[in-house]
């Protein structure tokens, strides 16, 4: 393998997937013959891998220099792109740059000349201004969720970044919606379009239902949630204040859930997504920030506590379920006074089947040690089996980050782990697991 990039077949094997999908294959083929490519595909169809596959083939393995720049509108998407690329296990390095992350750490990482840089517009511009990124060697530019970046008001930042990039050979514009007119700074007149929006416009696997709100909307939501049993769902709200109110309300109802919005600290947001991924909760209450770019599992259901103003946002939300080969449902909480032109007037009614509140079989435990402390998944598995005495069925998903590790364990074992492990060590460090 010396001197050669991994083939697509080798990367697929590393990822543990059977094959690339039609959209990804179309992007790969387009990359062979076109300089500027616009990828249009719904949320959840694998757009990240869509551009990472051809990028993995185009980067020069023997060149230790910044070669590709990926711009994302949110730090969540930045972290997802970084995680997906690392799973590919290519010989290339990637560095993530985003607000809330120590600038000094990023500067140190960038000094190692990673081949790929992924970041948010504001933080990337800061690096360009401080000359910690070499623009001369960057030949590939990817604008991921480009429509969202414009919607979030990053036009000027991206314009200034683009002005630094004088040697771009290939551009990718990635979006879940069509853009009427591309901004001048993109410097693309007629990109080759890989458009999978129309063929996915009508999702036959998605069942849209309504639940009429007669009095209290919070109670109406509780009625729906208690009828879903153990199905996984995201409850979408238009405002952070509503989420704060729902947190208080559902806590009083003794429901297990996680919250996600832009005012939470990064660690809090990561924890919420981790809990949804590992089954510690089946319910995530979120703003539209969660509609795109998050590495979360296939969901059974989407609940619209608030209806978004525009149909495209409604579509983005629904894109979190009924993805690829799965089926899912979207439930809208409707008042008699609600009028949205894009909603079908004959939406079927959701059948309530309320059950007593139950709690997930898993609980998330936090260990204040991570990759930077030389801790890995195998270390945690060994500790749980040998020191604590758990069996395979009592240990769930483990996620190890730079300074933190999260472990899903059987709910009835969490207190035992806290007590039994408090004086024990992992690689010489105290194993201070605690319930989050």
pLDDT digits (tens, 9 = 90+) for 267-276: 898 899 999 9
Q: What is the chain's alpha carbon radius of gyration, rounded to the nearest angstrom? A: 23
The region, left, alpha or beta by phi > 0 then psi within -120 to 50, assigned to residue 374 is left
| Per-residue model confidence as pLDDT tens digits over 108-122 | 999 999 999 999 999
Distance of CA 64 to the CA centre of its chain: 29
By DSSP bridging, strand 170-175 and strand 192-195 are unpaired
Asked whether the beta carbons of 42 and 176 are under 8 A apart, the reply is yes
Whether the pLDDT of residue 355 is over 70: the answer is yes
SS3 call for 329: strand
| Per-residue model confidence as pLDDT tens digits over 374-408 | 999 999 999 999 999 999 999 999 999 888 999 99
The count of C-alpha atoms lying within 13 angstroms of the C-alpha of 157, restricted to the half-sphere facing its C-beta, is 20
- For tokens 């364990």, the residue is 409
Whether the pLDDT of residue 200 is over 50: the answer is no
Query: So what's the pLDDT on residue 297?
Result: 67
SS3 call for 195: strand
* Residue 361, token pair as written in the block: 């079989």
What span, in angstroms and rounded, lies between the C-alpha atoms of 434 and 436? 6
* Residue 204, token pair as written in the block: 């036959």
| Per-residue model confidence as pLDDT tens digits over 136-176 | 999 999 999 998 888 888 999 999 999 999 999 999 999 98
φ/ψ of 242, rounded to 5, equals -65, -40
- For tokens 């297990």, the residue is 256
Which domains are assigned to the chain? 8-200 (3.40.50.300), 206-334 (3.40.50.300), 362-435 (3.30.70.330)
Asked whether the beta carbons of 427 and 379 are under 8 A apart, the reply is yes
């Amino acid at each position: 393998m010396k001197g050669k990039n991994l083939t697509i077949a080798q990367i697929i094997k590393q990822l543990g997937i059977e094959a690339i999908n039609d959209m990804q294959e179309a992007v790969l083929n387009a990359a062979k013959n076109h300089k500027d490519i616009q990828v249009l595909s719904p949320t959840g169809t694998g757009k990240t891998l869509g551009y990472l596959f051809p990028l993995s083939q185009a980067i020069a393995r023997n060149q230790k220099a910044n070669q590709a720049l990926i711009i994302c509108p949110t730090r969540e998407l930045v972290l997802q792109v970084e995680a997906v690329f690392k799973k590919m296990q290519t010989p290339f390095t990637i560095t993530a740059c985003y607000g809330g992350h120590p600038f000094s750490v990023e500067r140190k990482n960038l000094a190692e000349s990673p081949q790929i840089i992924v970041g948010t517009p504001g933080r990337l511009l800061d690096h360009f201004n401080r000359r910690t990124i070499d623009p001369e060697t960057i030949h590939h530019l990817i604008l991921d969720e480009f429509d969202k970046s414009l919607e979030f008001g990053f036009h000027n930042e991206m314009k200034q970044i683009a002005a630094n990039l004088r040697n771009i050979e290939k551009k990718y514009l990635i979006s879940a919606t069509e853009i009427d007119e591309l901004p001048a700074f993109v410097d693309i007149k007629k990109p080759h379009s890989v458009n999978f929006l129309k063929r996915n416009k009508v999702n036959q696997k998605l069942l849209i239902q309504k639940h009429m709100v007669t009095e209290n909307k919070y109670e109406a939501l509780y009625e729906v949630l208690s009828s879903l049993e153990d199905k996984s769902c995201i409850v979408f709200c238009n405002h952070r204040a509503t989420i704060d109110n729902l947190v208080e309300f559902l806590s009083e109802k003794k429901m297990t859930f996680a919250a996600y919005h832009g005012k939470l600290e990064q660690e809090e947001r990561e924890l919420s997504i981790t809990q949804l991924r590992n089954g510690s909760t089946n319910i995530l209450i979120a703003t539209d920030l969660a509609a795109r770019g998050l590495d979360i599992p296939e969901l059974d259901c989407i609940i619209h506590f608030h209806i978004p103003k525009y149909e495209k946002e409604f579509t983005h939300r629904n894109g979190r379920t009924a993805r690829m080969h799965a089926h899912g449902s979207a439930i809208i909480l409707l008042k008699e006074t609600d009028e949205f032109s894009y909603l079908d007037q004959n939406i079927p009614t959701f059948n309530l089947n309320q059950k007593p509140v139950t709690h997930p079989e898993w609980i998330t435990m936090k260990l204040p040690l991570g990759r930077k402390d030389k801790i890995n998944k195998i270390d945690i598995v060994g500790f749980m089996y040998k020191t604590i005495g758990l069996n395979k069925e009592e240990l769930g998903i483990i996620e190890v980050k730079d300074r933190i590790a999260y472990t899903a364990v059987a709910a009835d074992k969490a207190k035992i782990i806290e007590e039994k492990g408090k004086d024990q060590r992992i690689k010489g460090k105290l194993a201070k697991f605690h319930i989050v």
